[in-house]
Chains A and B, each alone.
Chain A
Amino acid sequence: MKRSLGWRIWRSKKAYLFILPLMIGAVGFCYYPAISGLVTSFFQWDGTGEKIWLGFGNYVELFRDSIFLNSITTMIILLVPRLLIGIFMPLLFAELIFNTRNRRVQSFYRVAILLPMVAPGVVGMLIWENIFEPTSGLFAQLMHFLGLVPEGQVVDFLNDSNWVIPCIIILGFPWVNGTNILIYLSGLTAVSGEVLEASQLDGCGTFRRIFRIDFPLILGQVRYFFIFGLIGLLQDYGIQVVLTNGGPGYDTYVPGRYMHRLAFSSGRYGYACSIGMVLFVTILAISLVAFRLMHYGPFARAQED
């Protein structure tokens, strides 16, 4: 017997009660701001006075705004190396730990790489700021030692156009990310022992094994870090807020940092929202393409179920 929809809804009232707190948060605090951001991006608004309708005016201005256009270039220059580091350094650590024969030492390594997580990221950055300190910092000493900066010359690394970008990339060396290393490690451990043994018997060396056996099997993890690393880095301006303030000049401005300044220093909320929308559309397009190309993501999995 087919029951009416109303009856079925009434009967599942408990399920609705279970998801109610989540849905209130999702609609009121996630969807609402996103939509109001879209609406605000069509207005000129200083945050207190009257909203003035501009249509696509903000967007037109944005693509003529040289600060914004340059910030995109800066973003890409910073993004590419940091994305590669984010994918390959954890993999390097995971392979090193995975290939350790001594079980005790192996589990020591596995806990040791979690160590940096106990210090808040800001603490890490501020320590690095001190490392980049121009006169007596560790980095200055190292550069003198290597002869990259002549003895007696003082370079304010974070305030020098030639140095600031490499410094931001170097920051955090050796870029240990405990969580990601563990995710790789669990992927490697899932490679069956029999396969490894067989490859060894057939005389397959370590490097060949890494490329031929390990890599294809942890491709899922590599894709994951690629997509989410890209999404994260496209909107990241954390270092700029703490260390460089976007400077020197506009050298380390990225779109996110520019948006932040427009809204909270210049009070141009509508214009700032249009940057947010452009970034959103970019990120959405990239992730949809990436998900499609890589057959990956929550949507691919939802379909499988």
Chain B
Amino acid sequence: MKLRIRNKKAAAAQFFLHLSMAVLLICMVYPLAMALWNAFKTTYEYDISKFYPTLPLKLANLSTAFSKVGVYLYNTIAVAVFGITGSLFIAALASYAFARMDFPGKALFFTMVLCLMMIPGILTLVPQFLMYRSLNLNNKLIAILLPQLTMSPVGAVFLLSMFFKALPKDLFSAAEIDGATDFQIFRLVAVPLCMSILITLAIQQISALWNDYIWPMTVISTNYTKLTVSAGLIVEFRNLYSQNMPVTYSGYLIASLPLVLVFLFGNKFYIQGLISSSIKM
């Protein structure tokens, strides 16, 4: 009897839980869904029915929008491919040395890297801009690529070296006995074993690159065709009231598509990597 009451109570609690989750998820999805269906409306339809989806779909919006945001997308993908591979390679190589090798000054160098985590981006924004300008790198795509290769690795080193350190020692001594060089051990033993955390870091860096607009808008102030996607969207679609809103939403949609792909393929690794790294918290 008592058990049945408890079961009923538990079922009621579960019902309440699903209800609140459903409400919250609808609140979360609705603005995104609105953007999605409005991307395929004519301006007239948008004016009368923006709160719900209608047919037919005006697919021409997509091509109009692509002609506007395509160039930003291309820039971002180029930076993502070269910048993030490079950044993770640099970070992994150094983390491997910090975790597995012994050399004079190791503690000093490692502390130097850790201390950088205490320097906020806001302190370096203005001087960094001045530096790029004096090197004549502003208004060029390389001004967005270089921070990927120089600043992003710093943030990844701490986590990566923790993972390399946690790998069992026997693996490394076995490889050494087989006559593998340090770089071979790094490439063939250490990196494959840390693939899930590397993918997690890659996803984090891609999403940071996709989302950043302050640095791109700062360093690229005239030559707008070199902007990355977030900054491009602001420059292109900022003037809200004189705009063709459906085309704007199509632009948002196109800008998001590559991230959708990244998440479709990466969400499993991302969840796994986050879980394995946060247990160390």
Question: Nearest residue in B to A173 (C-beta to C-beta)?
Answer: B27
Cα–Cα, bound, A168→B138 (Å): 32
Contact residue among A28, A34, A36 (Cβ-Cβ distance under 8 Å from B119)? A34
User: Is A111 touching B267 in the complex (CB atoms < 8 A)?
Assistant: yes
User: Is B102 touching A14 in the complex (CB atoms < 8 A)?
Assistant: no
Given contacts A22-B157, A120-B229, contact A182 B182 (CB under 8 A): no
A60 at the interface (CB under 8 A from B): no
User: Is A116 touching B28 in the complex (CB atoms < 8 A)?
Assistant: yes
Which residues of chain B are within 8 angstroms of A30 by Cβ–Cβ distance?
Answer: 116, 119, 124, 150-151, 154
Cα–Cα, bound, A101→B11 (Å): 10
Cα–Cα, bound, A123→B257 (Å): 12
The B-contacting residues of A in range 104-140, CB under 8 angstroms, are 105, 109-124, 126-131, 133, 136, 138
B113 at the interface (CB under 8 A from A): yes
A5 at the interface (CB under 8 A from B): yes
Cα–Cα, bound, A190→B278 (Å): 10
Interface size bucket, B side?
35 or more
Cα–Cα, bound, A111→B29 (Å): 13
User: Is B13 touching A206 in the complex (CB atoms < 8 A)?
Assistant: yes
Cα–Cα, bound, A38→B252 (Å): 39
Contact residue among A47, A93, A241 (Cβ-Cβ distance under 8 Å from B213)? A241
- What 1/0 flags go to B127-144 for Cβ under 8 Å of A? 111110000000000000
User: Is B274 touching A29 in the complex (CB atoms < 8 A)?
Assistant: no
Question: Nearest residue in A to B116 (C-beta to C-beta)?
Answer: A30
Cα–Cα, bound, A237→B18 (Å): 36
How many residues of chain A get a CB closer than 8 Å to chain B's CBs? Answer: 98
B233 at the interface (CB under 8 A from A): yes
User: Is B122 touching A256 in the complex (CB atoms < 8 A)?
Assistant: yes
Most chain B CB neighbours (cut-off 10 Å) among A16, A118, A234: A118
User: Is A123 touching B35 in the complex (CB atoms < 8 A)?
Assistant: yes
User: Is A186 touching B274 in the complex (CB atoms < 8 A)?
Assistant: yes
B271 at the interface (CB under 8 A from A): yes
The A-contacting residues of B in range 1-54, CB under 8 angstroms, are 10, 13-14, 17-18, 20-21, 24-25, 27-29, 31-32, 34-35, 50-51
Given contacts A130-B245, A259-B126, contact A15 B28 (CB under 8 A): no
Which residues of chain B are within 8 angstroms of A28 by Cβ–Cβ distance?
Answer: 150
Cα–Cα, bound, A171→B20 (Å): 20
Most chain B CB neighbours (cut-off 10 Å) among A21, A25, A138: A25
> Could you say which of B89-97, B167-175, B191-199 contacts chain A?
B89-97
CB distance from B137 to the nearest CB of A (A): 11
Cα–Cα, bound, A263→B270 (Å): 38
The B-contacting residues of A in range 183-201, CB under 8 angstroms, are 183, 185-187, 189-190
**Chain A to chain B contacts (Cβ below 8 Å), 23 pairs:** A15-B97, A15-B101, A16-B103, A19-B93, A19-B94, A21-B94, A28-B150, A29-B131, A30-B116, A30-B150, A31-B116, A37-B127, A100-B14, A122-B213, A123-B233, A176-B28, A182-B274, A241-B217, A276-B122, A276-B123, A276-B127, A280-B120, A283-B118
The 3 closest A-B pairs by CB, nearest first: A25-B150, A12-B103, A29-B150
A residues sitting closer than 8 Å to B (CB atoms) are 5, 8-9, 12, 14-16, 18-19, 21-26, 28-34, 36-37, 40, 47, 93, 96-97, 99-102, 105, 109-124, 126-131, 133, 136, 138, 173-174, 176, 179, 182-183, 185-187, 189-190, 206, 220-221, 224, 231, 234-235, 238, 241-242, 256, 259-260, 263-264, 269, 272-273, 276-277, 279-280, 283-284, 287, 298-299, 302
